[in-house]
């Protein structure tokens, strides 16, 4: 690469040739002072203490140092280097920690403020170094995602950029309000490939999302390989499946493991969902014996819900369910297995109870903790069962009773957190049965004050579901998730005291240059001052 003469150098040469002395400071506009502040981060950090003297500049000699002996920390260090190298063009070697005069980014386990807990971190930025301290690799990873947002947006470019890579000085102490911050992707209505899922995971991880719930089965398609029932995928997930027959495909077990590993490397835990006893037409149209009358119904590619039910009083049903739970549990390292349970309108209340009382112990038998949509609270499930609230109202007696008994709740109110709802009547994609959800609607609610009797103590966290009836491509996914996903991520992570729409929309607007560089196809909401 040819080095172009800088203006300073040209002026210095001119000064030698001229009889008069030039002022020591050439009349060149100084690079603008960093306008980013420590608090310009989504989700908003718990505590920021800026120190204007401490600006750190990432340079060609910067090294990344990680806690010795921790492969987890070393891995986070390499991920950070991989993130920072393309745009900076710097080597950023990852080395074990020891005293060094070199400018450095240090990733250390231990020594952080006691408040950071298991998922948080402390970030210190001085002129000489950036130090991220945490108790876990997950905490270090969260800290690196904050650091990424504190660098100029150009850091997201895939090719070398000419800019000054400053990080504003000071200290951040940060930790999540809720342990669970989820996103859900529906693979059943339209299948999404491993590449699409992992691309989505990469975006989620930037906003400290730590659970990815995969809706793997529904009336229109079955998307996960089950060896003991092989036609579930080849037929139930085969050609012609999905809404309008336009979403065929399925994950092999190897695909699923690849997704799980990609997520785990970003400290995201995958939760598989097998929806039952309703939403089962794909299985029942594939295997006639799963129907009470022994007759396979035709495959369905429409968007109706609530018409299918497994046969509650047939032992074969439970052999099927146990096979599926066993095989899915075996490829799922995370603690949760979601058994759906929503909209079982073709199952009587009594049969629903019978079914759940047989199936919940099967989840436990294979070492998993069951979660289900909030209908599952109708059967008074054991208190380790997690209920996911998807209603639009502010009262739900079964849910409140379950919360009082000790069941934890994940909040996904459909009129706030559903990413498949249209932004407004003109949105090309999505549905509108629950609400139109503009960015402010997605942001302005409190998970612990949404449903009467389900307060802070009962809430495990929040989740933003993305149903795929109308979504086919990754662009479609991005358009519905951005910018609302970061709003839900902030509700899950940040304290209520920092909740402020004006602050949020300004910080959100500043994300746009990053999304453009990442080629995220976001919805340019008129509510947000995009930069």
Which residues are the active-site residues? 343
Q: Determine if 254 is a binding residue for ligand TNX (CB under 6 A).
A: no
Cβ–Cβ < 8 Å for 248, 236: no
Closest to 416 (Cα-Cα) out of 395, 391, 453, 397: 391
Q: Determine if 351 is a binding residue for ligand TNX (CB under 6 A).
A: no
Q: Which residue(s) pair with 357 in the sheet? A: none
Q: Determine if 342 is a binding residue for ligand TNX (CB under 6 A).
A: yes
Minimum Å gap between C-beta 414 and ligand TNX is: 6
Cβ–Cβ < 8 Å for 215, 467: yes
Measured from the CB atom, is 105 or 184 closer to ligand TNX? 184
Q: Determine if 390 is a binding residue for ligand TNX (CB under 6 A).
A: yes
Measured from the CB atom, is 165 or 467 closer to ligand TNX? 467
| Binding residue (CB under 6 A) for ligand TNX from 104, 174, 327, 420 | 420
Measured from the CB atom, is 208 or 215 closer to ligand TNX? 215
Can you list the positions of beta strands (E) in 332-486? 336-340, 369-373, 386-389, 409-411, 459-466
Q: Determine if 343 is a binding residue for ligand TNX (CB under 6 A).
A: yes
Q: Which residue(s) pair with 458 in the sheet? A: none
Closest to 389 (Cα-Cα) out of 459, 443, 334, 336: 459
Q: Determine if 273 is a binding residue for ligand TNX (CB under 6 A).
A: no
Q: Determine if 373 is a binding residue for ligand TNX (CB under 6 A).
A: yes
- Sign of the Cα pseudo-torsion (447, 177, 213, 420, in order): positive
Minimum Å gap between C-beta 224 and ligand TNX is: 17
Closest to 391 (Cα-Cα) out of 417, 430, 370, 371: 417
| Binding residue (CB under 6 A) for ligand TNX from 97, 296, 431, 517 | 431
For residue 425, what is the enclosing H or E element? Answer: none
Total residues found in the chain within this entry:
531
Minimum Å gap between C-beta 433 and ligand TNX is: 6
Cβ–Cβ < 8 Å for 36, 152: yes
Residue at token pair 């203490």? 49
| Binding residue (CB under 6 A) for ligand TNX from 14, 305, 316, 330 | 305
Measured from the CB atom, is 469 or 476 closer to ligand TNX? 469
Token pair for residue 268? Answer: 């995201």
Q: Determine if 389 is a binding residue for ligand TNX (CB under 6 A).
A: no
- How many other CB atoms are found less than 10 A from the CB of residue 187? 27
Minimum Å gap between C-beta 467 and ligand TNX is: 4
Minimum Å gap between C-beta 29 and ligand TNX is: 52
Minimum Å gap between C-beta 118 and ligand TNX is: 30
3-state secondary structure of 327: helix
| Binding residue (CB under 6 A) for ligand TNX from 222, 443, 467, 493 | 467
Measured from the CB atom, is 120 or 372 closer to ligand TNX? 372
Total interface residues for ligand TNX by CB under 6 A:
10
Measured from the CB atom, is 420 or 476 closer to ligand TNX? 420
Q: Which residue(s) pair with 217 in the sheet? A: 222
Q: Determine if 304 is a binding residue for ligand TNX (CB under 6 A).
A: no
Q: Determine if 398 is a binding residue for ligand TNX (CB under 6 A).
A: no
Burial 73-90 (b: 16+ CB within 10 A, else e): bbbbbebbbebbeebbeb
| Cis preceding linkage at 483, omega within 30 | yes
List contacts with ligand TNX (CB under 6 A).
305, 342-343, 373, 390, 418, 420, 431, 467, 469
């Amino acid at each position: 690469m040819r080095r172009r003469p800088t203006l300073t150098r040209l002026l210095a040469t001119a000064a030698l040739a001229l009889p008069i002395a030039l002022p020591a400071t050439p009349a060149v506009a100084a690079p603008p002072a960093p306008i980013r502040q420590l608090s310009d981060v989504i989700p908003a950090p718990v505590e920021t203490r800026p120190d204007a003297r401490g600006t750190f500049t990432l340079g060609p000699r910067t090294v990344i140092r990680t806690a010795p002996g921790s492969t987890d920390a070393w891995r986070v260090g390499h991920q950070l280097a991989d993130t920072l190298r393309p745009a900076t063009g710097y080597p950023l070697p990852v080395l074990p920690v020891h005293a060094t005069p070199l400018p450095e980014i240090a990733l250390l386990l231990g020594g952080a403020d006691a408040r950071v807990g298991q998922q948080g971190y402390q970030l210190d930025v001085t002129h000489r170094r950036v130090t991220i301290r945490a108790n876990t690799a997950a905490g270090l990873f969260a800290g690196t995602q904050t650091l990424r947002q504190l660098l100029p947006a150009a850091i997201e470019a895939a090719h070398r950029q000419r800019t000054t890579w400053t990080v504003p000085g000071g200290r951040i102490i940060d930790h999540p309000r809720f342990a669970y911050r989820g996103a859900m992707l529906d693979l059943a209505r339209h299948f999404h490939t491993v590449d699409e899922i992992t691309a989505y995971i990469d975006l989620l991880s930037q906003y400290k999302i730590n659970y990815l719930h995969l809706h793997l089965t529904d009336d229109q398609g079955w998307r996960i390989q089950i060896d003991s029932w092989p036609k579930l995928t080849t037929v139930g997930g085969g050609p012609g499946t999905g809404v309008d027959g336009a979403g065929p495909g399925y994950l092999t077990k190897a695909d699923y493991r690849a997704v799980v590993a990609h997520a785990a490397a970003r400290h995201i835990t995958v939760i598989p969902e097998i929806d039952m006893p309703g939403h089962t037409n794909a299985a029942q149209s594939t295997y006639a014996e799963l129907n009470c009358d022994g007759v396979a119904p035709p495959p369905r590619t429409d968007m109706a819900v609530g018409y299918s039910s497994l046969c509650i009083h047939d032992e074969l049903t439970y052999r099927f369910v146990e096979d599926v739970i066993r095989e899915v549990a075996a490829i799922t390292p995370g603690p949760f297995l979601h058994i759906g349970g929503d909209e079982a309108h073709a199952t009587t209340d009594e049969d629903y109870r019978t079914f759940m009382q047989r199936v919940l112990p099967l989840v436990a038998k294979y070492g998993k903790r069951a979660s289900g949509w909030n209908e599952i609270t109708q059967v008074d499930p054991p208190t380790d069962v997690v209920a996911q609230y998807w209603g639009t109202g502010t009262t739900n007696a079964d849910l409140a009773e379950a919360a009082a008994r000790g069941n934890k709740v994940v909040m996904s109110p459909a009129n706030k957190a559903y990413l498949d709802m249209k932004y407004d009547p003109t949105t090309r994609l999505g549905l509108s049965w629950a609400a139109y959800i503009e960015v402010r609607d997605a942001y302005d609610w409190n998970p612990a004050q949404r449903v009467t009797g389900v307060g802070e103590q009962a809430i495990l966290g929040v989740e933003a579901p993305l149903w795929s009836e109308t979504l086919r491509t990754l662009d479609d996914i991005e358009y519905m998730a951005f910018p609302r996903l970061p709003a839900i991520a902030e509700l899950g992570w940040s304290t209520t005291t920092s909740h402020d729409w004006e602050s949020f929309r300004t910080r959100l607007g500043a994300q746009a240059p990053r999304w453009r560089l990442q080629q995220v196809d976001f919805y340019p909401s008129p509510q947000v001052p995009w930069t």
